[in-house]
Amino acid sequence: MTAADIIEAWDQADPAAIHPTRGIDEDAYWNSGVNQAAILGTVIPDGAKVLDFGCGDGRVAIPLRELGYGVTAVDASPNMLGRLHQHDPDMPTVLSSGAGLYGQLGKKVDAVVALAILIHHNYADCLDLLTELRQAVKLGGILILDWPVSDQPVEGQAWLDVTTWSQEAHDDACNRIGLKQVDARLPWGVYKAVKAG
């Protein structure tokens, strides 16, 4: 499954299929974003310029902005960005699959959030995305990535499959891309942007 296939599937997805809490109700869905934003706020410095990559309809980006962060919401799906603007018409957005992202932004950000994005990409596309996301962050900045490591790594084959990484492949990618993992005790990996090895 290529990144283009994932983007096409996501763009056409029924909003009810986007997140499991939508099966409960719409309030549960939006409250889950508020809760995740609060958790992210424990590691993102106050007032930081934050890029929410794969922002979807703004479930996390909107509450991050309400917490005082300078958020730019990025997604490859025009439909998702349209849904986000229904909830927050003034949110700065960028339509991007990640390729050339830094050039589209024009300046580096303090932090990148990419939740439930990397897990749906094959290894090669994930590495490409990680490289693009790292280039968009200032040296010393923070990246919060849903990039799981497993004793039994597997590369997902369908758009909602989860790809996991071996510790060795993860550590090698961090070194080549310029990421240093930080022990932040979050449900996602937290990384500091460093010079690539």
Per-residue tens of pLDDT for the chain, all 197 residues: 565 666 666 666 666 666 555 566 678 878 989 999 999 999 999 999 999 999 989 999 999 999 999 999 999 988 889 999 999 999 999 999 999 999 999 999 999 999 988 888 889 989 999 999 999 999 999 999 999 999 999 988 776 678 899 999 999 999 999 999 998 889 999 999 999 98
Q: How far is CA 151 from CA 19, 94, 115, 168, 191, in A?
A: 26, 36, 21, 10, 21
Look up the CATH number of the domain holding residue 86: 3.40.50.150
| Interatomic CA distance for residues 63 and 160, integer angstroms | 25
Q: How far apart are CA 29 and CA 24, in angstroms?
A: 8
127-160: pLDDT as tens digits: 999 999 999 999 999 999 999 999 999 988 776 6
Strands 70-75 and 93-95: parallel
Domain span holding position 68: 3-193
Going by DSSP bridges, is the β-strand pair 179-182/93-95 parallel, antiparallel, or unpaired?
unpaired
Helical ranges in 53-184 per DSSP H? 61-66, 78-87, 101-105, 123-135, 167-177
* pLDDT at residue 4 in the model: 65
Q: Give 124: exposed, middle or buried? Use CB within 10 Å, 0-12, 13-18, 19+.
A: exposed
Judge whether 94 and 105 are in contact, CB under 8 Å.
Answer: yes
CA 108 to chain centre: 16
Residue 184's pLDDT is what?
82
pLDDT for 120? 80
Predicted local confidence at residue 16, as pLDDT: 61
Stated pTM of the model: 0.88
- In the block, tokens 């300046």 appear at 107
Domain count, the chain: 1
